[in-house]
Amino acid sequence: MRIATYNVNGINGRLPVLLRWLEETRPDIVCLQELKAGDEKFPEAALGAIGYDAVWHGQKSWNGVAILSRVGPPVETRRGLPGDPDPAQSRYIEAAVNGILIGGLYLPNGNPRPGPKFDYKLAWFDRLIAHAADLIAADVPIVLAGDYNVMPTSQDVYKPERWTEDALFAPEVRAAFARLMDQGWTDALRTIHPDETIYTFFDYFRNAYARNAGLRIDHLLLSPAIAGRLVDAQVDRDVRGWEKTSDHAPVWIELTNG
C-alpha cells in the first residue's frame, strides 16, 4: 500500500503533470494541497478516468486540499479543524480509506514574521495539535500527511543559518512541530532515511532545484497503530524537474498490507 502527499500548486494548471505522475507511479492514496480552485473546478472526471475516486475541500484562488484513492472511495470524516474561524481557509480534509484514517493538511506558510499571518499559523498549528491528540487517543491506523510548512531540524534546510527568522523554521514553529511529534507520531521519511539530506521543496527562484537548495517541509506522520507497517519512504525528486512542474515534489510511503 503506497500513500503519497503532493503540493501541486494549482491543480488545474498542474493537471498534465499530476496525471503523468499518478499513471507512472500508481499510488493507492494521495493527499493533495494547494488546489487553488473552488469545489466546482475540481477535475473529478479526469482523475476518475484513470481510476481515482476523490474527496476535496476547495477554495477559489488559494489553499484547497483533497484525498484521492484507487482502493475504494474515500469516506469523508471531516473538513476543517475543530475551532476554525469563520470564514475558514480550506486547509484540512480527513477520510477513511481501506481501514486507515487519512488526514490531509496544508499548514499556513506564516510569513512575514512577526505579523498576523504568523499568528494565524501558530493558532492553526494549535488546532491541529489538539485534533491530533484526539485522533491518536483512538489507537487506530492514522496517516497525517501534507505540506506542514515546517523544517523540523537544521538537517532539513540547505542553509539553516539563513532561515532562523523565517516562519518555516522559527523556534516557536519548530517547537510546535515537536509538541505534535511528542504525542507519539512517526516521521516516516526521516525514520527510513535517518542521516540523509533529503528535500521535498525547491524554490522556483535562483535555479534552486539544480543547486539542490531545498527544504523538507512535506511530511507523512504515522500513528503508533500503523508505524510498524512502514517499509519504505521516498521523494519522487525527478518530478520537480519536469516541465510546468510544482515547486514541491511528491513524497510517498510504502506500508505492508494491514
Partner DNA sequence: ATGCCTAATGCAATTAGA
Active-site residues, by number, are 106, 147
Q: Does 224 bind DNA (CB under 7 A)?
A: no
Distance of CA 191 to the CA centre of its chain: 17
Euclidean distance between the first and the last CA atom of the chain, given in angstroms as a whole number = 9
Shortest separation between residue 213's beta carbon and DNA, angstroms: 11
CB 113 within 8 A of CB 75: no
Within residues 66-105, the interface with DNA by CB under 7 A covers none
Of 233-252, binders to DNA (CB under 7 A) are 244, 247-248
Q: Does 62 bind DNA (CB under 7 A)?
A: yes
Is position 20 an interface residue for DNA (rule: CB under 7 A)? no
Cβ atoms of 59 and 35 within 8 Å: the answer is yes
By beta-carbon proximity to DNA, the closer residue of 126 and 247 is 247
- The three-class DSSP label of residue 46 is helix
From the number of C-beta atoms within 10 Å of its C-beta (0-12, 13-18, 19+), residue 193 rates as middle
Query: Taking the complex as a whole, how short is the minimal distance between the CB of residue 113 and DNA, in angstroms?
Result: 10
Tell me if 61 contacts DNA by CB under 7 A: yes
Near DNA by CB under 7 A, which window of 33-41, 43-51, 76-84, 181-189? 33-41
Tell the residue number behind the cell numbers 518555516, with chain if given: 168
Q: How far is the CB of 251 from DNA (least distance, A)?
A: 14
Shortest separation between residue 50's beta carbon and DNA, angstroms = 19
Instruction: Say which amino acid occupies 157.
Output: V
- Per rule CB under 7 A, is residue 117 in the interface with DNA? yes
DSSP-based three-state secondary structure for 231: strand
Half-sphere exposure of 164 (CA within 13 A, CB side): 2
Contact residues: DNA, CB under 7 A: 7, 9-14, 34, 36-38, 41, 60-62, 108-109, 111-112, 117, 147, 149, 168, 201, 203-206, 215, 217, 244, 247-248
